A = this chain, B = another copy of it.
């Protein structure tokens, strides 16, 4: 890698930035060697040239005082920072900045678990705390509180929440379960949101909305501030937990499954974020594509059939769980089982039926908030596997699910990729996650993946479907689909950006929100 500088910076000026950053955090926490230090801040899963996202340096403060010093340096020189937390952020850009030359503000060293409140059921964490960190800590202190984790154990509790991530227990809507933030703004102002703005507050992590405008949402998927502390509500271990799985034979069963699911979800008989996973998703966590087919193009029906038989999975596989005392689980189970088993060809499995199988075990763990890394096996589906995730929000209806599925599948077939997807159901929507798996060392595969992704964004938005999150390479394109009334929402985002960070030093371009200083350059 070549050395790069922030746009418009001469080497002397950038050397001064680095010198000041070293004063701020100590020289061992400023990284600027393009050969030795900075590759750690590349996105391993890029479909575009790495040069486009090559940071000029990275800086890792140890505490809020050092964050303030770093911001003061950035502000003094007008240097763009790109904030990252812990976790890998694979599929969405990893640690790489939106544009080459940005300085990565790496929050991973701030990894204190500041409070676990057993009585009220919450924890307060810094940005560097991962799910596995929090899980282990709770075990160590003998807590009976569950966490709700993202699929990969290394994910960050706060970063995932800030990106509107979901987990798989009844607390799976992470932002809904967030309560209270400490945020550092670009000008160095430290803000406590909500009830935390009252000195000596007794309720900073107990009541979400505070007094006056509720600002927490503003600091999610945004570049308005650096969140340094966050409260998250934790669910007490329920009296019982019983995960279940239904498999369905036919591709078109997705329609019936989704129609069956909606009333169960809306009526809260399915309290958690349950998942309808496609055949290849469930296969790929256990086997390799080449075990079943070595040709190019879509898997032939015979290979799919064999895979289904071998792994006892269906074209679609629904994972959910019951929570609570046994009699309550029994009662709910009868309703759920009867409804899903009404779909011809459906099969049902409980824990005793599948113990030890990878695809089952990790879903069982996720449903009770036990972090693990099984899903990362998806990357073994093809050699040198990498992925970018296309994540449109879907209504919970059969026709919508089928339309989104077909929209992706047909384009996958044409572009030479497998449809590896799942639908995770929330309060009223499904997060449809298509894990677009490509070969990271194959330029043709990368180019096709990039092209396909762009097509998917276009086709989905034309059908009225928008994504909830995306890779840094597609932030502008997707932001541009949220363009109702001449981009009126993004014009407000820009207005707030200019008000809170007039110099534009914090994560320029995040979610398509550019500071005034760069807006013309980008549009041009």
Contacts and interface: CB of A to CB of B under 8 A. Distances in A.
B489 A192 contact: yes
Given A395-B202, A429-B207, A484 B213 contact: no
B202 A213 contact: no
A236 interface: yes
A440 interface: no
Interface in A435-482: 461, 463-470, 478-479, 481-482
Contacts of A222: 212-213
B120 A266 contact: yes
A500 B224 CA distance: 15
A197, A332, A479 pick with most chain B CB within 10 angstroms: A197
Nearest to A397: B119
Contacts of A429: 203, 206-207
A300 interface: no
B195 A393 contact: yes
Contacts of A482: 197-198, 210-212
A511 interface: yes
A96 interface: no
Interface of A: 119-122, 164, 170, 175-176, 179, 185, 189-193, 195-203, 205-222, 224, 233, 236, 238, 262-263, 266-268, 325, 327-328, 331-332, 335, 393-397, 400, 426-429, 461, 463-470, 478-479, 481-485, 488-493, 495-496, 498-500, 511-513
Given A120-B396, A197-B484, A499-B498, A211 B478 contact: yes
Contacts of A192: 484-485, 488-489
A169 to B, nearest CB: 12
Contacts of A327: 327-328, 331
Given A198-B484, A262-B119, A466-B198, A213 B203 contact: no
Contacts of A170: 268
Q: Which 4 A-B pairs have CB atoms at the shortest separation, nearest pair first?
A: A214-B217, A499-B499, A213-B222, A207-B429
A499 B479 CA distance: 21
Given A218-B217, A484-B198, A193 B121 contact: no
A393 B198 CA distance: 12
A202 B493 contact: no
Contacts of A328: 327-328, 331-332
A199 B428 contact: no
Contacts of A492: 185, 189, 191, 215, 500
Contact of A468 (B209, B426, B468, B484): B209
A213 B499 contact: no
Contacts of A190: 485, 488
Contacts of A485: 189-192
Contacts of A263: 236
A393 B207 contact: yes
Nearest to A175: B209
A221 B213 contact: yes
Contacts of A189: 485, 488, 491-492
Nearest to A431: B207
B496 A496 contact: yes
17 contacts: A120-B428, A175-B209, A179-B428, A189-B491, A190-B488, A197-B466, A203-B464, A207-B429, A208-B427, A210-B468, A211-B469, A211-B478, A211-B479, A212-B493, A213-B218, A217-B217, A499-B499
Nearest to A467: B211
A499 B495 contact: yes
Contacts of A464: 198-203
Given A200-B464, A211-B468, 20 more contacts: A120-B262, A120-B266, A175-B208, A189-B492, A191-B489, A192-B484, A195-B466, A197-B490, A203-B465, A206-B393, A207-B393, A207-B468, A209-B468, A211-B466, A213-B221, A214-B217, A217-B218, A233-B427, A495-B500, A496-B500
A507 B294 CA distance: 67
A491 to B, nearest CB: 7
A176, A198, A463 pick with most chain B CB within 10 angstroms: A198
A189, A192, A210, A397 pick with most chain B CB within 10 angstroms: A210
Nearest to A427: B233
A176 B176 contact: yes
A426 B207 contact: yes
A80 to B, nearest CB: 18
Contact of A203 (B219, B224, B394): B394
Contacts of A481: 198
Contacts of A120: 262, 266, 395-396, 428
